[in-house]
Amino acid sequence: YNEYKSYLRMFLAKHGAQQVAGFATMPSIVTRLVGKFNVDRSYEPHKKMKFQDKVFDMSFPLEMPELTYAGAASAPVEVSKLSNGVTAVSMDTNSPVVKVGVFCGAGAKVETAETRGLTHVLKNAWFGTTTRRTIVGGYREPAQCGVDMNVLSSRDMFGVVADCTRDTSDLILDHMCQNFICPEFFEHELSAAKKESLNQSHLALTNADVFLVEEAHRMAYRNKGLGNSIFLHERDAANVSRDSALQFVGENMRDSNNIIVMGIGMDMELVGNLADEYLWSLQGGSIAPPESKYHGSQERHIETGGDLVKVLYLVEGAPIGTRDALLFNLLKYISGGSATSPVKYGGQNSKLAAACKDHLRHPFQAHSLNISYADGGLFGCSLTGHYSEIEHLVKNCSSVMRDLSNGVSDDDLQAAKNKLKHAVILEQDNLSSLLESSAAESLAVGSHSSASQICGAIDAITAEDVAGAAKKVTTTTPIMVSIGNGDNMPMLRDLK
């Protein structure tokens, strides 16, 4: 207390009593609260407290037992093949709230010229009328259970996911499987779904980044397989009908060997029983999807004027679940990292940024890109810069990608490994990302890798492995697509 008063006097003398007038009464307040304690006297704690003629025992222990950290709990992932070929995947976390997903390895890549955009329409019409429920029941029953259900559609996967309680998982899985088993797709429901799909397409394609990714896939795979758009376009809307939808689902989404039922928070017995109950009628065999063959040496610019230019410079990547895909992911963090780094301003020190920041006056953006599918992929960099400096930006960044084959330092390799392992652990920590990534890997290679297995594989990568993967990047003919002001946009032949 005396020490406190001495500090207070020093504070008042330094800052003036007028500025801290409120502190002038602090000594008297402290005296009333603390009382006249003697610092040399030891006081015994109160063991009994009397209140309104009642006595309470206050002699409870104040010490906390020492706790040891044994690491984060990780539920094992179990994979089982049912009698009809459906794959069941479970991760029992003993949670009352579970995540359920039914995934089919048939996305936009299985569409033909007559059915382009159909998976986008099915995404918006999935909870419509079936032979067992009306569209009202399809939406009302999950809502009454407080369930959030969504449909996911990509180039090589179509899935239905839901967050629900464990005791309602059987009802929800029944809803999710309805259109795999007994769809109807009435014309009036498809009409509403087509309008919604066209609105979503128009909105999404106004985003330059989305438009560039779509155009890059179209060029790289020449409008076949992975080159198909994930959106419905006006020119294809007239081909979507009830007959085409029923035929598409029957040919591509009823192959039991290509369907996965996954439950996070559920044990294998429960997932297997539910999958067997609701998908027992599915059989193996479906039309094989068209081969997605990469074609390089292509370029395109979309002129829109303005001051900015966005560029995608890409080469052929690696399929999901392969060792090359892991190496390309490591190359991504060695060269330029991710567009959404978990470290604020962390991308400023990447190789791509370092190669350009001393030569450009205007703001720019450069990061690496790696997209993997079941039968292919794309790897490269995404660039945004001022039109007057875009030539230097593209040339410097393409040079960085080619120089990766010359080898990387041990420090750069270890830093990239740490970043990649961090990204893997973050993805596994997010149940939605874990559900999708596990389903995509299981559909592609038939198994699932845990975070510890992936991190172990990352640690085993050597500098020679990275150099070998980088040589594949330099020997593959690239594609380049850009949008914006193309006055100073270089050609592919100028980048050699």
CA distance 291 to 285: 17
* Helix%, strand%, coil% for the chain, nearest 5: 45, 20, 35
CA distance 82 to 446: 13
pLDDT value of residue 71: 43
Residue 168: pLDDT over 70? yes
Q: Which of 426, 408, 384, 423 is nearest to 462 (CA)?
A: 408
Exposure b/e, 267-306, CB count within 10 A at least 16 = b: bbebbbebbeebbeebeeebeebbebebeeebbebeeeee
Structure tokens at 279: 């998908």
pLDDT digits (tens, 9 = 90+) for 194-215: 999 999 999 999 999 999 999 9
pLDDT value of residue 154: 92
pLDDT digits (tens, 9 = 90+) for 344-389: 545 556 788 878 887 788 888 888 899 999 889 999 999 999 999 9
pLDDT value of residue 239: 93
In the chain, what's the furthest Cα-to-Cα distance?
Answer: 95
pLDDT digits (tens, 9 = 90+) for 291-302: 789 999 899 999
- What mean pLDDT comes out for the span 152-179? 91
Residue 35: pLDDT over 60? no
Structure tokens at 425: 């652990």
pLDDT digits (tens, 9 = 90+) for 62-121: 555 554 544 444 567 888 888 888 899 888 888 888 999 999 988 899 999 999 999 999
Residue 26: pLDDT over 80? no
Structure confidence at residue 7 as a pLDDT band (50, 70, 90): low
